[in-house]
Amino acid sequence: MYKETVSRLMEIIPAIDLLGGNCVRLNQGNYNKITKFNSDPVSQALTWQEQGAKRLHLVDLDGAKTGKPINNDAILAITNALDIPIQIGGGIRTLERAKELFDYGIESVILGTIAIEDPKLVKMLIEQYPNKVILGIDAKEGKVATRGWIKQSDIKATDLVKNFASSKLAAIISTDIATDGTLKGPNLSALRQIAESTNLPVIASGGIGSIADLLSLTALEESGVTGVIVGRALYDKNFDLNEAIRSIAKPRIQDSLQKGINLA
């Protein structure tokens, strides 16, 4: 699929996954494989901002699993503390919940489960909030999972993308469940399939464990991959956020100098 590309740096978006008010990470979406990293999500969010984050990716794991806003206090505290935009997913399954989060000051809401269970509601929400809704596609072996990755559907990820092709979505987040939290590298093949099936910007998620993994994604920029969500690698200190941002910028700047392009 043809895409008009622009010269800009791929955005690195640090993640905070909330479970019971704590910053945690799951391994391959398994709620029985939880690692707790920080009991103060506000301080963690401020750390990412101080290290150069231009956006925060926030996930309410309790909400994703139960559909209930268990982490509202933490979400509101993080929103009030940060100066950068926040995108949030997890348990957003009604117009009322989306509006509540926008009223908090959240920039974008990520819809996943509801896109399978009630696509008409999602399209209604997109019409009401154009360019403020992100479609979250969590897939394993090409099929979409829902309810915090607990339920596996028979719907192909690429088909779900096409269902919303004409909608005014802000972006698509493509998460590969099999690699998420493993630090073993992204699923470039699956990501390319998603990116080449839409004209919307695509944000990669899952498997990032090293600077080399981040650099591997730059090969997909022309296909429309404009950002990458990084979680466990940052918490495990495989690299820091500022280092990652500089590493992504370096090859692009060198390439631009060779071509005589001014990165603005």
pLDDT digits (tens, 9 = 90+) for 46-81: 999 999 999 999 999 998 888 888 899 999 999 999
**In this structure, are residues 141 and 154 in contact, taking their beta carbons and an 8 Å threshold?**
no
Could you tell me which residues come within 8 angstroms of residue 197 by beta carbon, excluding any fewer than 6 positions away? 1, 158, 161, 162
**In this structure, are residues 52 and 12 in contact, taking their beta carbons and an 8 Å threshold?**
no
Catalytic, out of 62, 83, 118, 138? 138
Active site residue 17: yes
- What is the pTM assigned to this prediction? 0.86
Average pLDDT along the chain, 264 residues, taken 10 residues at a time? 55 95 80 87 97 96 87 96 97 93 97 87 94 91 63 77 89 84 87 92 94 94 95 94 90 51 48
For residue 116, what pLDDT is reported?
85
pLDDT digits (tens, 9 = 90+) for 99-138: 999 999 999 999 988 888 898 999 999 999 999 999 998 8
Active site residue 154: no
Residue with tokens 């154009």: 130
